[in-house]
Structure 1
């Protein structure tokens, strides 16, 4: 079995501004196999690379992404208060991210966020522009988004992020879901892992920090780790390979 791939959560977000090109470049320098990122959609149906629906935490502007146009959002800078005022980066569009990806063709984990729930037009356009990209999968807490994604592009991988409402014994009924993403603290348990394996689903786990014992001997259902610390996780994996 090949080792689970290491995805840098929002890029190397422990060392750079999350979801920025700097964070993505740094993640690759840290030997991450792939990038995890988040996308929301603007008022004018343009997908942008940002986690929060409300822009306040990263930009200081107390507005929803979905209430502003791309032009309005591009005026903002992200980062800590004094940094963003003078030299914080602009928020990336998803198209800008895909242009970067052409020169860095690594696996992408693209999380569809809540602003797509009421914007099927933006969802369809986003899915269709990715349907021929190798090693890209869409994840979401919202199963309805993934069901539509699978309908728009049947060959694209979909990953449902587990919540307490997920019935692990009925995963096979989720025919539009290929993979389960789960919080390691709650769900890295034999019963959940075995349920995935039994029903033909794979798993990726997030909040990995590099000191988990099971990184060295992962369950057969595990195909990926999602982490703020890609260098630490890769170093653990490399020690096992060298041994």
Structure 2
């Protein structure tokens, strides 16, 4: 009940922030449309689009969640909530549930537009593609919740983008196949969860099989999101020192 109450409170707040809602729901789709016209070719678009369906929601959810949670921290809202019987995990999973609902709507719109209008060729089942993109958005959300604890201003929160997001984008196999990278870079890509999301997205657009590797990638993405939430719970305090 506490988790649901927290999620409902956040969703009500988001409802009144129409610009944020518009950015969350429309931006990934608009970026996919832009990408389609940049390539101006369905075949080229189908090669690049799967990875971007993971990267765009991941990045946007990280940015929005880190700033929104930071506002709650700096305004004293989180501190006041922590003086109640509300548990840390109730609070964090409430945030995860609220932003998770947004993530589901966000990636569903972007994926359906990409497949049915922009010409993304999909070999595997559509539902697997939706699961992967939702997990990727939830991963960005969880990391945003976690890093918000280490920022004091919104500008500082944005400074974590080059630390937590950009290296993952560069090393996830989007520009260069991971196996052709130098050994150190390949090792770094192996410990970055976005790499497994991109691998899973490429797999579902090229194969109909639900393999053990695909299942492993999904488990890793979900596990990293859960770990980030747990670490975020550790940063919550019942009162300011």
Give TM-score scaled by structure 2 length: 0.24
Structure with greater strand share of residues: 1
Give TM-score scaled by structure 1 length: 0.24
Structure with greater helix share of residues: 2
